[in-house]
Amino acid sequence: MNEQNEERNVTDDALLASYKVAVERALPRIPVKNGVVDIDSIWVETSIPFDILESILRREDLTLPPNVERIHLKSRASQGEPSGTPRGRKRREVRN
């Protein structure tokens, strides 16, 4: 059992390292506004799963380009299911 857990940890570390490299390579191509990059822009560019991307961006060993001062980690994309009230045109009832 312990050998399987160790193999998974090694595999997970290798995957995180490759994701980290992918993020570092994508950062220079992402638009920067006032030294800030949004996590949504990185997500669109790399298509790395959002939870993995967030954990990579919180790491201390991530190398940022000189024009990036910080990364905004709060997503602006709506998550979850839409609200129950539909938006759109209401239809009138037909009178007899």
Question: Higher model confidence: residue 2 or residue 29?
Answer: 29
Full-prediction pTM beyond 0.85?
Answer: no
Residue 61 CB partners (closer than 8 Å, separation 6+) = 20
Express each pLDDT in 19-42 by its tens digit.
Answer: 999 999 999 999 999 999 999 999
Over 60: is that where the pLDDT of 81 sits?
Answer: no
Q: Are 37 and 68 in contact (CB under 8 A)?
A: yes
Q: Where are the domains of the chain?
A: 2-72
